[in-house]
Chains A and B, each alone.
Chain A
Amino acid sequence: MSQAAWTKGSDPVPQTRKSIKPEQIKFIVAGLVILTAVVFLIISGTASGAQYFLTVDELLSDPSYAGKPIRISGAVDGETIVYDGANLIIDFEIANIPTETTDLALTLHQAVNDPTASRLRVHVENEVKPDLLQHEAQAILTGTLGPDGVFTATEVLLKCPSRYGEAVPEQAGA
C-alpha cells in the first residue's frame, strides 16, 4: 500500500522556467517593502521597549544604570512591606538573589535571611497591593533607580514558588 504511494509521488513534475519575469518583479518589490516595514517596526520597538534585566547587585554596582528603564528581580522581605491603602502607596525592600537554583523557594528563603545580601528599597505608587506581595516572594519590578537610591517601580510582577515546589508534608511524621 505504502510502496505504491512511494513510487507515485516521485513522478517527475514538468520543469518550469527559472528566469524572473516582469510579472514577478512587482511581487519582489512588494515583498521588499513589507520586509523593510516589519524590520523597521521590530527595531524601533526594540529600541523603545528594551529594559535591562538585572539583579540587585548588578544594579547597585554600576552607577550608569541610574535613571534608565530597568527590570529587576529580587526576594521580598515581608517585614519591610508598608502599605498605605488609602493612597495606594507601597514601600518594601528586596534582597539580592545570588544564583538561582532549581529550588526557588529555598533560594528566596536564603536571600531574605542573608544579612550580607545587598538590599534595595522599592517604592510603588498608585498600585493596589498585589495578593502575592508577601514574605519570600520573588518580585520582578520594572522602573528606574532614583538618585536617592530608591527604586520606583511602575510594574510589579510576583512569583510565589511554594505552590509548585517540592513541598513536603511537615506534620506527616508527627
Chain B
Amino acid sequence: MIAETGFFLLLFSFAAAVYSALASLVGARRAHGEKLIVSGRNAAYLTTALVTASLGMLLAGLLRQDYQIAYVWSVTNPDMNAFYRLTALWGSQAGSLLFWSFLMSLFAAISIAFAWRRFHALVPYAITVMMVTVAFFVGLSVFLENPFERWWLAGGTGDVMRSVLMPAGAFAPDSLNLQGSAQGLNPMLRHWAMAIHPPLLYLGFVGFIIPFAYAVGALASGNLSTDWIKATRRFTLVAWMFLSLGLLLGGRWAYDVLGWGGYWGWDPVENAAFLPWLAGTALLHSTTIQEKRGMLKTWNLSLVVLTFSAVIFGTFATRSGLVESVHSFARSEIGFPMFVFWFGLTLVAVLLIIWRRGRGELRAEHEFQGLLSRESLFVLNNVVFVALFIAVFWGSFGAPILSELVMNTNITLGADYFMRVTPPLFAALYILMGVAPLSGWGVTSLRRLGRAALIPLVLTLASLGLFALAGMSTALSYVAYFVVLLAGWVAIVETARGIAARRRAHKENVVTSAWQLFGRNPRRYGGYMIHLGMTVIGIGVIGSTLFQVETQRTLQPGQTLELGGYTMRYDGLLANQVAEDGRLMDIAQVAVLRDGRELANLRPRRDFYPQSEGTNSMTIAGSHSTLENDFYVLLVNWEPINANQATFKVYINPLINWIWTGGLILIAGTFLAAYPKDVVSERARQSVALAKPGQLARKGA
C-alpha cells in the first residue's frame, strides 16, 4: 500500500504543480486574473503538501523495512539502525531526487507566504518558475527515477521485474529472501557528516532557485525595483549558509572516511557544488549595491541567472556522467531532460533581461566615481568571484568538454591547474575583504583608507610575529597569512569601533551597546562575522595545505615512531571485533605522546562489511585533534598470520580544525545577517544605511 499511495501522491503533486504554474502565469497576464492567481497559489501549497506526503510514504517504507520496494531494498538492510534508515532517503539517486523536490516545494511555499502581500506583483511569475521547477523534478521521479517501484517475479519465467503496480500474472517475491539479500547503505556513506552533507547541499542548491524565481518575476512583471532582492535576500543568505556548510561537511567526510589526509581534491563534482557558491557569494555582495545605490541592475539579474544555472548544471553534471569523477552516480537517463530544462529556463531569463535592458529599464541611478569607493571595490569583488567561477568551470568542465568536441582528444586539468590558478584569486578576495569595509560609498581617498587600516595592519603584523615564533619560515606562507589575517582583523576592529562609538554616544556597557549595534545593523555586523569566519577557515586551509607532514612505518607492539615532535607507540591489535551492525573491525591501539607525556589513545581501524557487495572495507582514521593540529593515524596493513606487526600511515595536519571552527562562526554570522530587522522597521534601517558614509568620514578624520 505504501508504494502505491506514495506514487499516486507524487502523480497528483505533478498535476498540481503544472496547474499552479499555468494558473499563476495566465492570471498574471490577464486584466482581472486575481482569482486565478489565488488559485495558482493554493495549488502551489497543495503541491508542497502532496510532495511532503509522498516523501513521508518513502520514509515509512524505509523505516518499516518494506524490502518489496526496490529503493528500500537497495539502500537498507536489517542491520542498519533507524538513523541510517532515515538518511538512506538520500542515499541513492531516486530517493535523493524526491528529497530535492520536497525541499524545493517547501522553500517555494515559505517564500510565497512571505512575499504574497508585500511583493504581490512578483509572486505569480515567481510561482510559475518555482512550480515549473518542482514539476520538472517530480516528473523525473514519476517517469524516470521512480522510488516507489517494487520487485515482481513474472508468473511463468520467474524473471525479476520492477514496477509500482503488479504486472499481469506476476507475483511478489518472498519477503524473507528479499530481506536476506538487501544491500544496505554504501558503507562509505555511514558517517555523521555524510548523513547531513547531502541535505545541506540540497538546501543550498534549492534556496538559490528562490532569488532566480523572483528575479524572473521582476523581469516579467516590470517591477524592476529592489523588491525582488528584498523578497529573497534572506533565502539567498540562508541558502548560502547551507551550501557553505554542505561543502565544509563534504570535506570533513572525505577527511574522516576516505583516508588520504585531505579534505578537498578539486574533483569535478566537488567543483560543481563550489560553482554556485562562488556565484551566490558574488550575488550577496552585489545586490547590496543595488539596494544602496541603485546600480548594477543588469549585472545582478545576470548573476542570479548564473547562480541558478550553476545549481542546475551542478545537479546535471553530477548525475549525468558528463565528466569522470569519483562521485558520479551511475550514468542515468535524467541527464538529457535536465539539460533541456536548464537550457530552457536560462534562455527565458536571459531573453527577458535583454528585452528589459533594450527598453532602458535597467539603467543605473548613480555612476561609479572613485576606484576606491565601496561600490567599486564591491564590483572588483564580483569580478574576482566571476573570474574564479570561470577558472573553476574551465578546469572542471570547459577544458575536458571543449577538447573532446574540438580536438577529439580528452584533456583534463588536474589539481596542479587549480593549485596554480585559484590561490592568487583567493588572495585577491581576502585583500578586498580587508579593504572594502574601510572604504565609503561614493569617493574614498587612499589616505583615508590607509588611516583606517592602521590598527588592523598593526594587529596583523603582531599575529604574524606569533607565527614566526612558532617557527614558520616560508615567504609564501607569510604572504598568504598576511592577507587572510588582515581581513579578519579589519572585521574585528571595525566591529570594536562601532561598539566603542555607540558606548560613547549612549553611555552603555559593552554588552548592551554590542547588542544594540548588532540589532540595528544586523547585515553589516553579520557580514563582518562571516568575514571573520572566512579568515578562520583560511588560517586552517593554508596551514593544512602548506605544512602537512606525513610518514609511514611498520611497527611491532611496543615500538614507536616520531613525527613533528610527537611520538606514536603501537600497543597491539584487536582483530575481528564484531560491531552491532554486523561489520567486522580490526582495531589497532596506539598511544600519542609528546615530551614523554601521553596525550591520547587512538584506535585507527579497518572495517569489513561481509554483506555488502562492491565497497566492503573501509579504513577509519584515528585522530587526536587540537586547535594546533590533527595527529591523524591510518592502519593501512597488518598480517593476520603475524599479528604482531602493523603498518601505519601518519599525518600531522596543522591548524586543520580551524576550518570546522570557522564554519561555526559562519553560521552565527549568517543568522545575525538574516535577523529580521527590516520587517520590523524598514525606515529605521534605511536611515542607518544613509548615515554610513558620514560615519566613515568621521572615523577617518
Contact = CB atoms under 8 A, between A and B. Distances in A.
Interface of A: 1-10, 12-13, 15-16, 23-24, 26-27, 30-31, 34, 37-38, 41-42, 44-46, 48-54, 69, 71, 73, 83, 85-86, 88, 100, 102, 104, 126, 128-129, 131-132, 134, 140, 142, 155, 157-174
A37 to B, nearest CB: 8
Interface of B: 28-29, 31, 33-34, 37, 73-74, 92-93, 120-121, 124, 151, 153, 158, 160, 173-174, 177-178, 180-183, 186, 188, 221-224, 259-260, 267, 324, 326, 328-333, 359-361, 363, 367-369, 371, 376, 380, 383-384, 387, 390-391, 394-395, 399-400, 409-418, 420-421, 424-425, 552, 554, 613-615, 617-619, 634, 636-639, 645, 647, 649
A172 B153 CA distance: 8
A161 B260 CA distance: 21
A158 B260 CA distance: 13
Contacts of A126: 552
B420 A172 contact: no
Contacts of B33: 2
Given A45-B421, A50-B411, A164 B647 contact: no
A49 B395 contact: yes
Given A26-B371, A27-B368, A45-B413, A50 B178 contact: no
Contacts of B160: 168-169, 172-173
Contact of B361 (A10, A88, A131): A10
B404 to A, nearest CB: 9
B50 to A, nearest CB: 27
Given A49-B417, A50-B413, A51-B414, A132 B178 contact: no
Contacts of A166: 330
Contacts of A4: 121
A88 B411 contact: no
B371 A27 contact: yes
Contacts of A30: 371
Contacts of A167: 74, 183, 613
A75 to B, nearest CB: 14
A159 B327 CA distance: 8
Q: Which of A26, A45, A126 has the most CB of B within 10 A?
A: A45
A42 B421 contact: yes
A34 B383 contact: yes
B391 A41 contact: yes
Nearest to B614: A162
A53 B414 contact: no
A169 B173 contact: yes
Contacts of B400: 53
Contacts of A158: 326
B318 to A, nearest CB: 12
When A and B form their complex, which 8 residue pairs have the shortest distance between CB atoms, in order from nearest? Answer: A85-B637, A49-B417, A9-B222, A5-B121, A45-B421, A53-B410, A162-B614, A49-B416
Given A10-B222, A128-B634, A165-B330, A160 B395 contact: no
B93 A164 contact: yes
Given A45-B395, A162-B613, A9 B361 contact: yes
B615 to A, nearest CB: 5
Nearest to B32: A3
B416 A48 contact: yes
B655 to A, nearest CB: 24
A48 B420 contact: yes
Nearest to B219: A9
A68 B34 CA distance: 67
Contacts of B399: 46, 50
B240 to A, nearest CB: 24
Contacts of A10: 222, 359, 361
B649 A128 contact: yes
A24 B330 CA distance: 52
Contacts of B414: 49, 51, 69, 71, 142, 155
Contacts of A41: 391, 420-421, 424-425
Contacts of A3: 31
Given A9-B361, A27-B371, A163 B73 contact: no
Contacts of B391: 38, 41-42, 45
